[in-house]
Amino acid sequence: MRVTTDKTPAPDCDSRKRGAIATTETGYHEEMAVPVHRLSRRSFLVSGMVAPRALAADSKGEKGSTFESEWMPYSDAATEFQVYRLTDPSYTSTLPATYNRVITRTSGTLLFCCHRGGSPQAFRMDLKSGDTQQLTQRQDLDGSSLALLPDGRSFCYFAERTLYQATIGNLRERPVYTVAEGWDRSPGLNVGTDAAHVTFGESRGEGSRLRSISLATGAARTIIQAPFPIAHPMERPQRAQFLYRQSGKGLWMVAADGHQNQELKLAAGGIGPAYWAADGKTLLYLSFPEDSRQLNEIREYTPDSETDKLVAKTSQFVHFGSNRNTSVFVGASRNTASPAILLLLRVTRRELTLCEHRSSHPTTVAPLFAPDAQRIYFQSDRHGKPALYCVHVERLVEKIEVNAA
């Protein structure tokens, strides 16, 4: 795969932000026009990139408050790709669990957790303008549990011991279910593809149970009980099955009726982030070899045939995501000499460095594609507290058309 470079300047940014970036040791540049690196069409396709506008903000910091865009573009010091910092690093902003829906299918809205008012709350960001709105005002909200429903008009989350469903348009919320006394909620929450139920684990002592909750009625049922802690369940698309993680060990799969509960026969070593392919036929996951001198791998497991195969070795990815058809992957490297966000093309197994993430905790970088595969989002604390970042990849990755419904 041949890499080419052209000198086409990046598109113009908002005039109020042009020139506001001074050269610093963190990689900012005075010039907003920067070279754009480009791969050949055989590997990646091209398009353009647009900067945000800014609107007036309401600084009350309460539910319903809106805030103007804080997008700050800069040229990455290592690659000269243009990167956007989307949130102010003076307060914490984080992505929810990225195996859930966090961006609407139209790629127009991002759901995230933000502490700008002093406590973690749900926020939405307009990905065209950069404007944000505070959606909740709850005590002890779990930002990692935020999950959009398939229509993108509402979302679920846990605050303290209660599961809530909230409507984005009118900000109405209702409690759906409260964890019973004597039980604790386990890490992770997954919204079903039919938007009818939510699945998560509950633990008590050494044991746990996988629970399915009806969003309409709040009725709860136990899918399976286990003698070990259950975490991060994921419904298998187009199948009545669930994947779940045995904390600190392997991955298991169980039918929705509680039958056929079995541990998956995956590659030896540690198991990192895992995602179902959109059609549910295969499971993509990161494998960490037992020999730390070996490269971390993206692997693909097919449950129906119980086969496991190598997709590609990586530059020590510790987190990853993919576009909808799994033809292109994005990863966050733990390599201390090159703490980078990289694209990996499946067909050639070649990588391209987009930018440095420089996070002090690479496992939290959590890079993900927008549904249309034209932007990549990630988080990093490189400029202070954890903040959200974006890289436009229209020039590199072919657009995927996704139905709005």
Instruction: Please check whether residue 243 is in contact with residue 283, taking contact to mean a CB–CB distance below 8 angstroms.
Output: yes
Two tokens, residue 168: 């984005």
Rounded to whole angstroms, how far apart are CA atoms 64 and 357?
Answer: 31
Min mean pLDDT across 58-67, 136-145, 379-388 is at 58-67
For the beta carbon of residue 311, count every other beta carbon within 10 angstroms. Answer: 19
pLDDT band for 192, please (50, 70, 90 cuts).
confident
Sign of CA dihedral 193, 197, 198, 202: negative
What pLDDT, on a 0 to 100 scale, did the predictor assign at position 336?
A: 84
Encode pLDDT of 18-55 as tens digits: 333 232 333 322 222 333 333 433 334 333 333 333 33
How many CB atoms sit inside 10 A of residue 365's CB? Answer: 28
Range 313-327 average pLDDT: 96
Give alpha helix (H) positions in 62-101: none
Lowest mean pLDDT among 28-32, 110-114, 259-263: 28-32
- Rounded Cα distance, 192 and 206, in Å: 27
* Edge-to-edge strand ranges of the sheet holding 66-67: 66-67, 132-134, 121-126, 109-114, 93-94
For the chain, which domains are there?
A: 98-376 (2.130.10.10)
